[in-house]
């Protein structure tokens, strides 16, 4: 098995706070790897550093390619695509248009082609529409293509965000608390969907999630962060039984 994401010695400082302090984190090809830990542990910061939204020191490689000197859009073009902890959808745009903003990352056309609507522009535009429709269908929102995104129920807005990320055809998908705010039934369905993203689309997934049933149910590997450092790594069962992890979550005194 090869490594898709390799993060080594990652550190991020916000003023006096070490949000990440020498973290090693990896995602093997074809796996769902979860990153868990208490609030403020640095999970979102790790995703931000990997996707290029916050400056970090350390090594970040995607399938052996150094990402550290790439801007966020170039990292997503390279195959690292993320969702956000807070929904980032365009409420007035249709679902299809929302997903197209993700599909666009593959389009090579420049400003001039878009301005003069060249044949190449239309060809790529059609391809982007097809990718967006495919992604909407994958998450089960095909019939909502023309619906304004703001009219969707909250759970479906989460799925829309997922579709937008899929339309970009990522190598590695970073999901930041996609289950937040979902009810039990929706969370279970989401778990099935993420598993299908791994198995049917062959996309490797890094998952930040507080819902432990979801994490334990679908993860191949788990890394536990506390206070910006790795506390433990292992299979779900090993993590569940790790006394240090239990202590960190229960906040017990030594």
Ligand X SMILES: Nc1ncnc2c1ncn2[C@@H]1O[C@H](COP(=O)(O)OP(=O)(O)OP(=O)(O)O)[C@@H](O)[C@H]1O
Name the site residues for ligand X (rule: CB under 6 A). Answer: 14, 17, 19, 37, 39-45, 85
Judged by CB under 5 A, the stretch of 23-31, 83-91, 114-122, 147-155 that binds Mg ion is 83-91
What is the Cα–Cα distance from 60 to 62, expressed in whole angstroms? 7
Residue whose CB is less far from ligand X, 14 or 122: 14
Q: Which of 41-49, 56-64, 143-151, 240-248 is the region at the interface with Mg ion (rule: CB under 5 A)?
A: 41-49
**What is the Cα–Cα distance from 254 to 249, expressed in whole angstroms?**
13
Number of residues that bind Mg ion (CB under 5 A): 3
- Residue 178: which of Mg ion, ligand X, none does it interact with, CB under 5 to 8 A by kind? none
- Given Mg ion, ligand X, none, residue 45, with its beta carbon under 5 to 8 Å by kind, binds ligand X
Q: Are 137 and 156 in contact (CB under 8 A)?
A: no
Number of H helices and E strands in the chain, helices first, is 10, 10
- From the CB of 38, what's the least distance to ligand X, in Å? 7
Q: Edge-to-edge strand order for the sheet containing 204-208?
A: 80-82, 172-176, 204-208, 32-36, 221-226, 229-234
Complex with Mg ion: residue 103 or 182, whichever CB lies closer: 182
Region of 17-25, 44-52, 92-100, 155-163 interacting with Mg ion (CB under 5 A): 44-52
Q: Which is nearer to ligand X, 2 or 39 (CB)?
A: 39
- Quick one: 37 or 52, whose CB is closer to ligand X? 37
Residue 51 lies near Mg ion (rule: CB under 5 A): no
Label residue 162 exposed, middle or buried (CB < 10 Å: 0-12, 13-18, 19+): buried
| Residues paired with residue 222 on neighbouring β-strands, in sequence order | 34, 234
Q: What are phi and psi of 253, to 5 degrees?
A: -80, 150
Query: Is 248 in contact with 37 (CB distance < 8 Å)?
Result: yes
Stretch that binds Mg ion, among 11-19, 35-43, 152-160, 246-254 (CB under 5 A): 35-43
> Given candidates 44, 76, 107, 178, which one binds Mg ion under the rule CB under 5 A?
44
Query: Which of 189, 188, 201 lies closest to 30 in space, CA to CA?
Result: 201
Binding-site ranges for Mg ion (CB under 5 A): 43-44, 85
């Amino acid at each position: 098995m090869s490594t898709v994401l390799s993060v080594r010695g990652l550190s991020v400082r916000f003023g006096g706070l070490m949000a990440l302090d020498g973290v090693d984190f990896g995602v093997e090809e074809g796996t769902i790897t979860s990153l868990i830990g208490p609030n403020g542990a640095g999970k979102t910061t790790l995703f931000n550093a990997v996707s290029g939204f916050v400056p970090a020191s350390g090594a970040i490689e995607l399938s052996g390619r150094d990402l550290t000197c790439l801007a966020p859009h170039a990292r997503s073009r390279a195959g690292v695509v993320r969702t956000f902890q807070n929904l980032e959808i365009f409420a007035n745009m249709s679902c299809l248009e929302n997903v197209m903003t993700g599909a666009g990352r593959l389009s090579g056309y420049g400003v001039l082609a878009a301005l003069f609507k060249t044949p190449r522009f239309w060809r790529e535009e059609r391809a982007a529409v097809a990718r967006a429709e495919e992604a909407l269908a994958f998450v089960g929102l095909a019939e909502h293509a023309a619906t304004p995104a703001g009219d969707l129920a909250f759970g479906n807005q989460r799925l829309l965000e997922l579709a937008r990320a899929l339309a970009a055809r990522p190598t590695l998908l970073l999901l930041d608390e996609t289950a937040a705010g979902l009810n039990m039934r929706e969370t279970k369905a989401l778990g099935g969907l993420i598993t299908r993203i791994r198995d049917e689309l062959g996309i490797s997934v890094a998952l930040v999630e507080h819902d432990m049933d979801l994490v334990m149910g679908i993860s191949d590997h788990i890394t536990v962060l506390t206070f910006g450092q790795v506390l433990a790594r292992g299979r779900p069962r090993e993590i569940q039984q790790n006394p240090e992890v239990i202590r960190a979550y229960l906040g017990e005194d030594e």
